[in-house]
Structure 1
Amino acid sequence: MEVKKILFINTETVPYVPENKLSAMGKLVPEKIQSNGYEIRTFMPKWGCINERRGMLHEVIRLSGMNIIIDDTDHPLIIKVASIPVSRLQVYFIDNDDYFTRKGIEHDENGETFSDNGERAIFFARGVLETVKKLRWTPDVIHCQGWMSSIVPLFVKEAYRDEPCFRDCKIVSSLYKSDMTGIIGENFKNCLTFGDITKDTLSSYNDNFDLKELEKLAIDYSDGIIESDSDIMPELKVYAQEKNKPYLSYPGEDFIESYKAFYNTL
């Protein structure tokens, strides 16, 4: 079956956050795929550094309002939307006052990694999937870009596998270089339990989850892996290739035809 609908779940997207490799691709990949006739949806966190007035974000009341429980605590889900000028690429934002009001994305002004980054990623992943359910939109492929989307493959394969909109979709994870250090939460495994996901599901992973362990989780539950950066962690590259899953080596700057072909191989 030819791929027609793609859900992009991004950690960063320009122009809403400063430009780097990850945020540039967060905009460029969906734009190019959309311009090639695909139907897409794009999500990212509503980071505290985003200027809502300048970006013309507005809340989508019909999609907001539910609570997501993480470690026995309710966190209200707020959905906002905006369109990137010229390309008219629509972006949905996952927001919550507990997780996304601080100015830093992954660390504070002193360079210290936020201790609840794991919880933030869990909230983001579940927020995206719950919103897609509300949209009643069924993607053929889910393409995850960046550490905040690394939990999505696990959730889709284990916690949401019986949901009609996710039952038959394939998941692609892109690997990027990242400077994030430190663990992402001392209670991360417990917070991650949801639906059919138990501590036994996570027994093969280190208790102290860091970025490398998070990316391994994404690789294990994805249907295909894309090397989207020329300088990814060598250990992760080897780990992904040893899984014998469809793997696209870094295609360079002119990636669009390679990506389209890769989607269809799944």
Structure 2
Amino acid sequence: MSKLRILYVASEINPFLQTSEVADFVRQLPQGMQERGMEIRILVPRFGLINERKNRLHEVVRLSGINIAVGEEEKPLTIKVASIPNAKLQVYFIDNEDYFHRKSVFFDKENNFYEDNDERAIFFCKGVIETVRKLGWTPDIVHCNDWMTSLIPMYLKTTYKNDPLFKNTKTVFTVYNNPFKHKFDGDLLGKVKMMDIDDSMLVNLQSADYEGFIKIGIEYSDAIIKAEDGVNDNLNTLLEEFDSEKKIDTIEKDDNLLDSYFNLYNELVS
């Protein structure tokens, strides 16, 4: 069997940024899969809290220069890269001055949720796919983590379904207990839309909130994983809505974690 190619997408990764358990998970799992012979790529946003000089980020000019449409606007995409210390792994960072240069992640200094977090997520999800296209790299699995990555499975099954790079790609979506209470104003569905996406495909996103993003991620993914730690009742209720149509697994954080994911990826591809 040729080595599997796994793309990990998340909002954070250690040691560059940690605000939740996502950062540790996305640090450990890719290395474990690489050590089992898989080929790995990792993409995260370049939030302003990430110190470029300290972490030795540098721009990848050949990958930068794409414009990403978010609603009526187009925003330039910059790609930066850095290596994880003591690991043979590189991390690609999606950057844009308007969306990611503020010195915080999702909340401002007064703990208000940023009104444009929906646009930041849309830009990031589209930017991830366009970056992989520019790399010319075909992922067998795209493993999306948390709400900010939840549009990627839908885009891959609609707008990009005939792209030779993605025609056989499977998606995994891991749901974490990182909810927010904000409801997005404005034309969220209009901003999310791309070619081959109409309103009927976005019903689960109509609530324009955290649950909407999670539901759209679940709907279009090939495998759904519930992060083990402290999933609250609201999230469990939401996941139960999909019980009849989707298999939702919990992979325990024990000695067999890496083996469980290794087996999951191989099952999906075969």
TM tier relative to shorter chain: over 0.9
Secondary structure in 2 aligned to 1:79? Answer: strand
Q: In structure 2, what is the equivalent of residue 252 of structure 1?
A: 253
Q: Which runs of 5+ in 2 are unaligned?
A: none
1:195 aligns to 2:195 (yes or no): yes
Amino acid aligned to 1:234 = N
CA contact (8 A) 2:189 2:205 kept: no
Please give the secondary structure, in 2, of the residue aligned with 1:94: strand
2:221 is aligned to: 222
The alpha-carbon distance between structure 1 residues 116 and 136, as it changes in their structure 2 partners (threshold 3 A), is same
Code of the residue aligned with 1:209 in structure 2: it is: A
- CA displacement 1:111-161 (0-9 Å, x = unmatched): 111111111111101111011111111111110012211110111001111
User: TM-score, normalized by length of structure 2?
Assistant: 0.93
Query: What's the secondary structure of 1:99's corresponding residue?
Result: helix
Alignment-mate amino acid for residue 246 of structure 2 = N
Gaps of 5+ in 1: none
1:53 aligns with 2:53: yes
Q: Which residue number corresponds to residue 236 of structure 2?
A: 234
Tell me if structure 1 keeps the 8 A contact 2:228–2:251. yes
TM-score by length of structure 1 reads 0.94
SS of the equivalent of 1:159 reads coil
Report the Cα distance in structure 2 between the residues aligned to 1:259 and 1:87, rounded to whole angstroms. Answer: 20
Aligned residues: 264
Residue in structure 2 matched with residue 210 of structure 1 by the alignment: 209
How do 1:177-196 and structure 2 match up within 5 A?
A: 177-196=177-196
Letter in 2 for 1:175: V
Give, as a single letter, the amino acid of the residue that structure 1 aligns with 2:259: E
Deviations 1:29-69 (A, max 9, x none): 11111111100110000001110001100000000001111
- CA–CA distance in structure 1, aligned partners of residues 30 and 251 of structure 2: 18
Question: How far does residue 244 in structure 1 lie from its aligned partner after superposition?
Answer: 3.0
Q: Look up the match of 1:264.
A: 266
Q: CA RMSD in A?
A: 1.6
Deviation at 1:231, TM superposition (A): 2.1
Output the CA distance in 2 between the equivalents of 1:2 and 1:28. Answer: 23
The correspondence of residues 9-158 of structure 1 with structure 2, limited to 5 A, is 9-18=9-18, 20-158=20-158
- Output the CA distance in 1 between the equivalents of 2:7 and 2:243: 24
Identity of aligned residues (%): 38
Q: Which moved more, 1:46-55 or 1:20-29?
A: 20-29
